[in-house]
Chain A
Amino acid sequence: MALTAGSSVALTQADWPHTITVRATGNSPDGRGARGAGAVASRARRARHHAGTCDCTRKDLESDARLRLEGRYGAHRQRHLPGSQYRRAKGRTHAVVPGKTASKYLHYGRIILDAGDAPLRFDTKQLETGLVCLNGSATVRTGDQSFTLDRYDSLYVSRDASIEVAPGAHGCDLAEIAAPVERTYPVQFVSFKSVQQDPGLHLNVGNAPNQRELNILIGKNVEAGRILAGVTFSAPGNWTSWPPHEHAAMLEEAYLYIDMPAPSFGLQLVYTNKNDPELATIVRQDDVC
């Protein structure tokens, strides 16, 4: 579509519910707008971003765009930020799964049990698995070992192992992070207290307005094949993941937003071309991005 400098036109993407405004900047010699090629590339990136993530119908997408204007979630958003579907689902749920979501290796799920619930058992199969306690406490048994996980404690469990999770006195809410590995690495427990006492794992990064506390739970302190995990807490109103960075050549990543009681919310951006983000959305507690 030919655009003149200063003009704008709204395009609705068939594979993306957002309405995108393309502005001609006037610096394209053919007068078609400088972002013509960029918009095509961005569509391709968005398609990759959503590859396998979304089986929404066009009706879903249109409905979602309309609901967004009303400040409500539509079916597409619930699928794109699957944590919102599992927000308070009891038991063991999976939100990020290769083949169903955009990840190739990363699995993420949640284990939520109330006090008194029967222990939950599962096998790790070919996946190395990290458990991070988000709320409550749990006793986790694997092999002949037993560990008590309190808030932000973590446990690395090797592949081909069995896990039994028993909730503590106030129930438990665990994040389950996993990825396929060829080798077997040892079971390792990491207490949050030990992380906070280690200046190599507990970092106060940046200055206002991008000040945050970074805690590396499963990092170089844990022998593992693929997974890394940690928790970041921003100062109020501050940015994190700043300056903007990416690491797609080596690592894929997901965020689970935690400890953000209403009315707190944040804004999450994902972009390769800053003028045409793949994602720009409000995030709240329990969303996954």
Chain B
Amino acid sequence: MPEGYHPNVAAPGGSINFLWMMAANREREDRQHGVVNVQPDFAAIPSGLDKGRAGSMMHGMDVRLKLEAPSEELRAEFLDMAAGLRRPRRVAVRACFSGFRGLSSATRLGRA
């Protein structure tokens, strides 16, 4: 699967189980688990992935998802939203912001 969204589903009564294996394009720099582009159509649907992200953050994963927005404009939106200065106005931003709030919570927990 060199590119593309890649969901899968199990037939009823059975599970779909798989070994996933990935190779980073750039050694070390791109070796980031959980840094994904969610299909915009589904970005606002609660999926439970937030729980996974919160857990993964304990190992530093997903941090780039929140801190490295696709553009400086979105990054500014993240920061404004985190500060309560702006409400999410785009689906993708809302989805990322959900994770961003999780990061903030995790950070607070970590400091506590």
Q: Measured between alpha carbons, how far is A267 from B12 in the docked complex, in Å?
A: 11
A177-B58 in contact (CB<8A): no
Given A234-B15, A244-B39, A264-B14: A229 and B20 interface contact (C-beta under 8 Å): yes
B4-A265 in contact (CB<8A): no
Given A231-B19, A247-B37: A269 and B5 interface contact (C-beta under 8 Å): yes
| Listed residue (B5, B18, B33, B45) with the most chain A CB atoms within 10 angstroms of its CB | B18
Residues of B contacting A250 in the complex (Cβ-Cβ under 8 angstroms):
24-26, 30, 32, 35
A45-B38 in contact (CB<8A): no
A49-B3 in contact (CB<8A): yes
A108-B31 in contact (CB<8A): no
Residues of B contacting A116 in the complex (Cβ-Cβ under 8 angstroms):
none
A256-B19 in contact (CB<8A): yes
Within 8 A of A (CB), among B38-68: 38-39, 41-43, 45, 47-49, 51-52, 55-61
Contact residues on A (Cβ < 8 Å of other chain), bracket: 35 or more
Q: Is B28 positioned at the interface, with any CB of A under 8 Å from its CB?
A: yes
Report how many residues on chain B are interfacial, defined by Cβ distance under 8 Å: 53
A268-B8 in contact (CB<8A): yes
B35-A221 in contact (CB<8A): no
Q: Measured between alpha carbons, how far is A198 from B9 in the docked complex, in Å?
A: 26
Residues of B contacting A182 in the complex (Cβ-Cβ under 8 angstroms):
27
Given A245-B37, A271-B4: A206 and B49 interface contact (C-beta under 8 Å): yes
Q: Is B2 positioned at the interface, with any CB of A under 8 Å from its CB?
A: yes
Among A238, A254, A270, contact of B10 (Cβ-Cβ < 8 Å): A238
Q: Is B84 positioned at the interface, with any CB of A under 8 Å from its CB?
A: no
Q: Is A228 positioned at the interface, with any CB of B under 8 Å from its CB?
A: yes
Residues of B contacting A227 in the complex (Cβ-Cβ under 8 angstroms):
21-24, 31
B27-A221 in contact (CB<8A): no
A103-B23 in contact (CB<8A): yes
Q: Measured between alpha carbons, how far is A259 from B7 in the docked complex, in Å?
A: 18
Q: Measured between alpha carbons, how far is A182 from B23 in the docked complex, in Å?
A: 14
Q: Is B11 positioned at the interface, with any CB of A under 8 Å from its CB?
A: yes
Residues of B contacting A99 in the complex (Cβ-Cβ under 8 angstroms):
none
Residues of A contacting B71 in the complex (Cβ-Cβ under 8 angstroms):
none
Q: Measured between alpha carbons, how far is A209 from B7 in the docked complex, in Å?
A: 13
Given A203-B51, A248-B2: A256 and B21 interface contact (C-beta under 8 Å): yes
Q: Is B112 positioned at the interface, with any CB of A under 8 Å from its CB?
A: no
Residues of A contacting B85 in the complex (Cβ-Cβ under 8 angstroms):
none
Residues of B contacting A236 in the complex (Cβ-Cβ under 8 angstroms):
10, 12-15
Among A49, A103, A246, contact of B5 (Cβ-Cβ < 8 Å): A246
| Listed residue (A241, A243, A266, A270) with the most chain B CB atoms within 10 angstroms of its CB | A243
B2-A216 in contact (CB<8A): no
Among B14, B18, B28, B52, contact of A255 (Cβ-Cβ < 8 Å): B18
Q: Measured between alpha carbons, how far is A239 from B19 in the docked complex, in Å?
A: 15
Q: Is A225 positioned at the interface, with any CB of B under 8 Å from its CB?
A: yes
Nearest CB of chain A from residue B71's CB, rounded to whole Å: 14
B31-A225 in contact (CB<8A): yes
Q: Measured between alpha carbons, how far is A232 from B33 in the docked complex, in Å?
A: 14
Q: Measured between alpha carbons, how far is A191 from B10 in the docked complex, in Å?
A: 27
Residues of A contacting B22 in the complex (Cβ-Cβ under 8 angstroms):
106, 227-229, 247, 251-254
A241-B7 in contact (CB<8A): yes
Within 8 A of B (CB), among A135-186: 175, 177, 179, 181-183
Q: Is B1 positioned at the interface, with any CB of A under 8 Å from its CB?
A: yes
> Which chain A residue lies CB-closest to B13?
A236
Residue interface bits B69-90, CB-to-A below 8 A is 1, else 0: 0000000000000000000000
A225-B27 in contact (CB<8A): yes
Among A134, A225, A259, A272, contact of B4 (Cβ-Cβ < 8 Å): A272
A-B pairs with the 9 shortest C-beta distances? A264-B14, A266-B16, A206-B48, A243-B42, A244-B5, A200-B58, A248-B3, A245-B36, A106-B23
